[in-house]
Amino acid sequence: MRMSKTLTSLLALTLGLGLAQATLAQEAPTADAPAADGLSMGEAPADPNGPGSMYVEAEFNDWEQRCIREEDGTNPCQLYQLLQDGEGNNVAEFSLFNLPAGNQAAAGATIIVPLETLLTANLVMKVDNAPEKVYPFSWCSNVGCVSRVGFTQAEVDAFKNGSKAVLTIVPVVAPDQKVALDLSLSGFTAGFTAVTEANTANAQ
């Protein structure tokens, strides 16, 4: 079913402009902290490749291995995919990372959806023909609403052996509708292996 124009246009607000506006708000000068003589003396721009910056380490079909630079060189990585609707509108972000062996969850994921998502309807996800599972949303910020979920080893194996997963959300403006977003699993196995190896090496 087609997503409402309001919902699909939220990418600019949630994944783009919202973050940019938050950054500008933090960096804008205020009357309480004037520069010398009320004039800005300027400063060196932030290093785009400095600590805290994100970069794409590798691509695996429909997935990206994204890592964050740390001062000590232990750059944590995650597997990332941008989800689109049937019309090619960017709608949600899916970031997955491995967890240490021995935990109930073998992997964790952070899923960001538009602000105008009906939170009480939760996030519904299924892999191929497997039964659906329901996950709650954790919080919302200016970049969107976030669901943090865990996957067992069996569920990670289902990702490796599957062809696609489907995430379903419900828009606030149309609570009687469901918006299904395809999450491609092409390249997942190689990507998850690369992320796991990178994070394991960083932890040593």
pLDDT in tens, 66-107: 999 988 878 999 999 999 988 888 999 999 999 998 889 999
Which tokens belong to 160?
A: 């490796």
Q: How many Å apart are CA 93 and CA 103, to the nearest integer?
A: 25
pLDDT band at 16, cuts 50/70/90? very low
Which tokens belong to 62?
A: 């429909």
pLDDT band at 53, cuts 50/70/90? confident
Q: Is the pLDDT of residue 125 over 60?
A: yes
Q: Give percent above pLDDT 70 in the chain.
A: 81
Is 80 within 8 Å of 93 (Cβ atoms)? yes
Look at the block and give the residue holding tokens 């491609």: 184
> Given this model, what pLDDT does residue 41 score?
77
Is 14 within 8 Å of 83 (Cβ atoms)? no
pLDDT band at 60, cuts 50/70/90? very high
**Average model confidence (pLDDT) for the chain?**
83
CATH 3.90.800.10, domain 5-13+55-203, yes or no: no
Q: Is the pLDDT of residue 111 over 90?
A: yes
Q: Rounded mean pLDDT of 157-161?
A: 97
pLDDT band at 35, cuts 50/70/90? low
Is the model more confident about 118 or about 26? 118
Look at the block and give the residue holding tokens 């994921």: 109
Q: Within a 13 Å sphere around the CA of 117, how many CA atoms are in the beta-carbon half?
A: 33
Q: How many Å apart are CA 129 and CA 78, to the nearest integer?
A: 26
> Given this model, what pLDDT does residue 36 score?
59
- CA-only gyration radius of the chain, Å: 19
Q: Rounded mean pLDDT of 148-157?
A: 97
Q: Is the pLDDT of residue 56 over 90?
A: yes
Q: Rounded mean pLDDT of 147-169?
A: 96
3-state secondary structure the chain: CCCCHHHHCCHHHHHHHHHHHHHHHHHCCCCCCCCHHHCCCCCCCCCCCCCCCEEEEEEECCEEEEEECCCCCCCCEEEEEEEECCCCCEEEEEEEEECCCCCCCCEEEEEEECCCECHHHCEEEEECCCCCEEECCCEEECCEEEEEEEECHHHHHHHHHCCEEEEEECECCCCCCCEEEEEECCCHHHHHHHHHHHHHHHHC
